[in-house]
């Protein structure tokens, strides 16, 4: 059996957490990631031993038997790279759909992020849209969060503003950005609401809290959030100044059609 500490998926998760902390997206224990892994990816590194079981607090029957690498509750992203076995856990959803079987990690007796309901419910939603979507990522990017306080939290208006900030935006997230009002985090209710938005969007803003992203791998999902954050930064640096130039709606349409992406046509004034 190979040492899980040498697993490529583990090192990619460690590097991603380090980058998110370095960029200031995940202060203290803010933010969380769940990575869906195929059985053949994890099989060389694990026995069938279940270290302990942890109640999920909701029904995840649709994901039974699936493996997830998940950041731990109360754990600091800055510590993941130095001590992955304490700060991360590899779980399998048990046959009852109500329990997580811990196969590796959380060695200090910890457990998965309190946001796991939002993660697993979002995984269920995204897998129905695209079976290759294996990552749910939540963070608190500075400018994206700041923009929540000065821009109307309307999906069409927020998306359109972000698209206008960088030429690449409509190409990177042509499906736009979903928006939820402020809700109590760590609950099944916000998990259900996020999953509902994930049926349409790969990006969901939690009002006055942060953002959720979904994608096929850690790089793609990181890149989605990174692009929104750059656009939000440009907006926050220019919002108080007279607007002299902008990317017009007909130019956004031209971009989307040139790059052959399926964009939200109803989000443009054309």
Identify the CA nearest to 28 among candidates 109, 140, 116, 112.
Answer: 140
The DSSP-derived string for 21-57 is HHTTSS-TT--EEEEEE-HHHHGGG--S---EEEE-S
Running DSSP on this structure, what letter comes out for residue 61?
G
Question: What are the residues whose beta carbons fall under 8 Å from the beta carbon of 242, sequence distance 6 or more?
Answer: none
Which sign does the torsion angle of CA 114, 211, 192, 173 carry? Answer: negative
Please state, in angstroms and rounded to a whole number, the distance separating the CA atoms of residues 152 and 150: 7
Residue tagged active-site, from 115, 155, 226, 229: 115
Longest dimension (CA), the chain: 63
For 87-99, letters b (16+ CB in 10 Å) and e give bbbbbbbbeeebb
115 is an active site residue: yes
Q: Which residues are catalytic?
A: 115
């Amino acid at each position: 059996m190979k040492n899980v500490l040498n697993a490529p998926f583990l090192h990619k998760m460690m590097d991603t957490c380090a980058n998110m902390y370095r960029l200031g997206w995940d202060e203290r224990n803010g933010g969380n990631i769940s990575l869906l892994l195929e059985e053949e990816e994890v099989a060389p590194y694990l026995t069938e031993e279940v270290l302990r079981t942890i109640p999920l607090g909701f029904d995840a029957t649709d994901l039974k038997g699936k493996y997830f690498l998940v950041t731990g509750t109360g754990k600091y992203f800055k510590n993941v790279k130095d001590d992955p076995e304490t700060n991360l856990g590899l779980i399998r959803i048990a046959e009852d759909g109500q329990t997580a079987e811990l196969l590796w990690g959380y060695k200090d007796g910890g457990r998965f992020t309190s946001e796991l309901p939002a993660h697993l419910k979002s995984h269920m939603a995204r897998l129905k849209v695209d079976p290759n979507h294996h990552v749910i990522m939540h963070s608190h990017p500075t400018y994206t969060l700041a923009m929540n306080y000065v821009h109307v939290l309307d999906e069409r208006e927020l998306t359109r503003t972000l698209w206008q900030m960088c030429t690449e935006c409509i190409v990177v997230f042509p499906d736009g950005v979903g928006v939820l009002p402020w809700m109590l985090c760590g609950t099944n209710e916000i998990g259900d609401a996020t999953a509902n938005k994930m049926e349409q969007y790969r990006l969901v803003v939690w009002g006055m809290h942060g953002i959720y992203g979904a994608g096929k791998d850690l790089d793609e999902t990181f890149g989605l959030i990174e692009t929104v954050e750059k656009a939000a930064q440009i907006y926050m640096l220019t919002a108080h100044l007279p607007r002299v130039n902008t990317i017009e709606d007909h130019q956004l349409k031209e971009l989307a059609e040139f790059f052959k992406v399926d964009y939200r046509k109803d989000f443009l004034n054309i």
